[in-house]
A and B are shown apart, each in its own frame.
Chain A
Amino acid sequence: MKKPVGAAILSAVMFGFGQWSNRQWIKGFVFAAFGAVGLYALIFELFDYLRGLVTLGTQPSGFVKVGKLTKMVEGDHSIFMMIKGLAALAASLLICFFYVLNIRDAYLVAKARKAGHPVHDFRQSLASLGQKHFAYLVLLPPFITIAFLTVLPLVFSILIAFTNYADPILPPARLVDWVGFDNFSQMLSLKKWSHTFGGVLMWTLIWAVIATATTYVGGVLVAVLIHQPRVRFKKFWRTALIIPFAIPNMISLLVMRNMFNNQFGPINDYLRRIGLQGLPWLTDPFWAKVTVILVNMWMGIPITMILAFGVLTTIPKDLYEAADADGAGSFQRLRYITMPMVLFSTAPILIMQFAGNINNFNVIYLLTNGEPVNIRYQFAGHTDLLVTWLYKLALNQSQFSFASVIGIFIFLIVGSFSIWSYTRTKSYREEDMIH
């Protein structure tokens, strides 16, 4: 049979048939073997798991009377069922994909035969796989890793937001159910959640704006300061000021937490020695916020400084000379030449840092752990960001569904900022990154 459609139909009936009709015996056999395994798995193994994903278990744990004895019977574990169901779904999609591939292959080969091209034997097919489809071959290992270790867990977490998986409904003792958008509406309208959500969201945004602005302006100013033509030992100043960036931030944050210790830390100690009262750096709601911003400046300024240096060296000198001739002072040169030039080429960084600060887990978690506690909040403190609240909700309070809801909100916030910035960068418009 030489009709392409016929070969495609044969392959659609059963994996490999179309290849056989094209006289590609080994290839057809490989397809048929894969297909048989896939179909068997789909019918006898995967189907149950897929059903589990929909029901999330029907048999709760409990006591069942067996004759005269009551016996503890372990019921369905909704969460395991969900993960297995997801994995089964991924496997089923893979089988479907393979099925389509098998039909397409039969069609294309039959078409080539009809046009009078010789049919590849198996060895040639393999060789062409390495040549023509090199990209797919190369992408396969990273894709498999990402699919199982990033995408699958992420999909799971997103699905959790649509269930009632939160203390006290925890498997295996109880069954989890799908609840649709209930958690979202509770988060936004139920007083106990919405109050905390509003407060934490507000502080997250304020924090992100201040943290980004302070490190950015600070970094550019320091770079300008060192870049002045008359300043000597430039390399020394640069290296000295890069140090905070080079020290792992987990270490410096833990060190800072001790330095700012109210009672025994060196900072309050020095303040007291010069006759001032120490400040409640980490225990007062207001001062704790100041502290995290100060510490963040210490860690963040070097990065902007390094990047600003790169820009400063590209600003043509004659711009400054022209400004000098017009009688501009150093402030005016900074305001009208340096700042606009630097801002222009580092704008994408600014937006990225803003998005990064929204998710700046380490600074808050290691420095204050979200404290001081806010009694009017649901499981959150004064300095908690959305991410640290998410973490506490999931790992300390077992409020998994609400944690997932917050994760989705963070995604929406960061996502909209990122898309807004990507559509504005040059690479988006000129190069072929997205379209």
Chain B
Amino acid sequence: MRTSTGNGKLFMTYAILGVLTFLSLFPALWIVLSSLKEGNSLYSDTLIPREMTFVHYKDLFEKTMYPRWFLNTLKVAVFSTIIGTFLLLLSSYAISRFRFAGRKTTLKTFLVLQMFPGFMAMIAIFVMLNAIGLLNSHWALILVYSSGSIITNVFVAKGFFDTIPRSLEDAARIDGASPMKVFFSVIVPLSTPMLTYASLMIFNGAFVDFIFADLILRTEEQRTLAVGLYKMVSQRNSTEFTLFAAGAVLVAVPVTFLFLFLQRYLVDGLTAGASKG
């Protein structure tokens, strides 16, 4: 009796898990199949298209500026990640390790800055960039993303450094290494998990941002993938749906796999971020 209700329960569990898996995979499946469909409309009478075609992917490369956007995005995301991670490392390490005058104020300032909605500063940045002629420049985006990434990740990173025992640095210092040397040859190698998490977050943020990028980048050649894709949907909507589907698949695939591969670091980072070190 007990085992049969137990089996029934187990069956229910599998059934629920099956349904949930279907639900979580369906949108991805649907968009991939839509991108392979003939024609350009949203409506389709079968889920699996009768005729498979790669023509939309080909169109993406031949009729739109997709390759160009892709390079732009890569440039913006890679440089933002490098600069942002570097600045983040410097600031969080200094805050975690040194007891300098103004440290508490710095921490409080970061906390307060986090609480403002990001959009509030956007218009001011727009006016400023306009004034110094940096509008429509990728470097403006890179600088803004890098600076923003310090504020959003500094507590996770500081919390991480707090867990690295000080004795390691002290040992290196006794051996006569300068603070700079200690930082680069002891601390940086030890912080790989945090660095992975932070750079993934910054990279992803820069890769998918379409609001700020849309405001800053004024011409079609300068656009990033996210902006290009967003414009494709918001302006031409259902008339070129399959083209959008192909674009969406190509944007999503690299990021999705990056996330799945680096899952472990993500979980650690998220947990650390939640408890605020």
* Cβ contact within 8 Å between A310 and B271: yes
**Given A243-B24, A307-B271, A153 and B180 contact (CB-CB distance below 8 Å):** no
What distance in Å separates the Cβ of A368 from its nearest Cβ neighbour in chain B?
Answer: 13
Residues of A contacting B183 with CB < 8 Å?
A: 138
Q: How many residues of A contact B (CB 8 A)?
A: 99
Q: How far is the CA of A248 from the CA of B200 in the complex (A)?
A: 12
Residues of A contacting B55 with CB < 8 Å?
A: none
- Tell yes or no: A214 within 8 A of B by CB: no
Task: Give the A-B contact count at a CB cut-off of 8 A.
Answer: 254
* Cβ contact within 8 Å between B42 and A261: yes
- Tell yes or no: A72 within 8 A of B by CB: no
Q: How far is the CA of A263 from the CA of B43 in the complex (A)?
A: 8
- Tell yes or no: A178 within 8 A of B by CB: no
* Cβ contact within 8 Å between B98 and A255: no
* Cβ contact within 8 Å between B277 and A254: no
* Cβ contact within 8 Å between A134 and B98: yes
Residues of B contacting A259 with CB < 8 Å?
A: 27, 30
* Cβ contact within 8 Å between B178 and A256: no
Most buried by B among A79, A245, A247: A247
- Tell yes or no: A156 within 8 A of B by CB: yes
- Tell yes or no: A152 within 8 A of B by CB: yes
Q: How far is the CA of A258 from the CA of B43 in the complex (A)?
A: 10
Name A residues whose Cβ lies closer than 8 Å to a Cβ of B. 79-80, 83-84, 130-131, 133-136, 138-139, 141-143, 145-146, 148-154, 156-158, 160, 222, 225-226, 228, 230-231, 237, 239-252, 254-259, 261, 263-266, 269, 298, 302-303, 306-307, 309-310, 330, 346, 348-349, 352, 355, 359, 361, 365, 387, 390-391, 394-395, 400, 403-404, 407, 410-411, 414-415, 418, 422, 425-427, 431, 433-435
Name B residues whose Cβ lies closer than 8 Å to a Cβ of A. 6, 9-10, 13-14, 16-17, 20-21, 23-25, 27-28, 30-31, 41-44, 47, 87-88, 90-91, 93-95, 97-98, 100, 104, 106-108, 111-125, 127-128, 131, 143-144, 146-148, 150-151, 159, 162, 178-180, 183, 204, 207-208, 210-211, 215, 226, 229-230, 233, 238, 241, 244-245, 248, 251-252, 255-257, 259-260, 263, 266-267, 270-271, 273-277
* 4 closest cross-chain pairs (CB), A and B: A153-B124, A135-B98, A246-B259, A153-B121
Given contacts A150-B151, A387-B117, 17 further A-B contacts (CB under 8 A): A83-B128, A130-B178, A130-B179, A136-B100, A141-B90, A146-B147, A248-B256, A251-B208, A258-B233, A264-B41, A298-B23, A310-B267, A348-B275, A352-B273, A411-B116, A411-B117, A422-B276
